[in-house]
Structure 1
């Protein structure tokens, strides 16, 4: 299965290159028989005109696939689920007991708006 898939993928990737491979393999035949400009050797075509026509044919065979009109219908699916009411239960916090009242009374804070200025030393 993997081998056949690999071969198919390889063929799809190399399909645009097949006319070039055919040109290289049958170079003598194409330059002498199939070349359109074989009467004028000054041009130095050497069958490149045939190669260009084959490349154009291969690209034309790929175009109809992309030119097909694709009809896309959008369907909007709406799922509805009733949202239940959120109820918050009243929680009462247990009052903590003061473990050591002496410790809690040690803290003192003085809210002053004056700016601290260090004393000046006169020597």
Structure 2
């Protein structure tokens, strides 16, 4: 059941993210129809508009709807001037003692012997 909820919320999120792109997708899918019937500049073919004017009009309407849906926030209603920050001076004294440790371990050893090792003989 939890998987179904997660898939549903993911799809709703993707739908909300794709909403601003829907006019462009509609323009790409219905390009011929928009250029033929819905283009505003049909009487001026030298502009080679091909329905882009209609696309710009749809994007402008989308922006207007977005601006209308946003609530107006007056910052005077939410003052934050009463917040004061505590300032501390650095005295150089630490409560926690410093522990000086190194991560370097010298595990190298050298045996100064010039005799060559030979395996034991059977005789």
Give the TM-score normalised by structure 1: 0.55
In structure 1, the residue matched to 2:12 is 8
**SS of equivalent residue, structure 1 residue 49:** helix
* Offset at residue 59 of structure 1 (A): 1.1
Q: What are structure 1's unaligned runs of at least 5 residues? A: 77-123
Alignment of 1:87-106 (within 5 A): none
Is 1:56 the equivalent of 2:60? yes
Of structures 1 and 2, the larger Rg is shown by: 1
Give runs of ≥4 in structure 1 deviating > 4 Å. Answer: 70-74
Inter-partner Cα distance in structure 2 for 1:61 and 1:32? 27
Q: What are structure 2's unaligned runs of at least 5 residues? A: 83-123
Show CA shifts across 1:7-33 (max 9, x none). Answer: 111011111110000000000100000
* Offset at residue 70 of structure 1 (A): 4.2
| Aligned-residue CA RMSD (Å) | 1.8
Inter-partner Cα distance in structure 1 for 2:63 and 2:9? 23
Inter-partner Cα distance in structure 1 for 2:46 and 2:78? 58
Of 15, 34, 56, which aligns to 2:38?
34
Q: When the two structures are aligned, how many residues end up with a matched partner?
A: 74
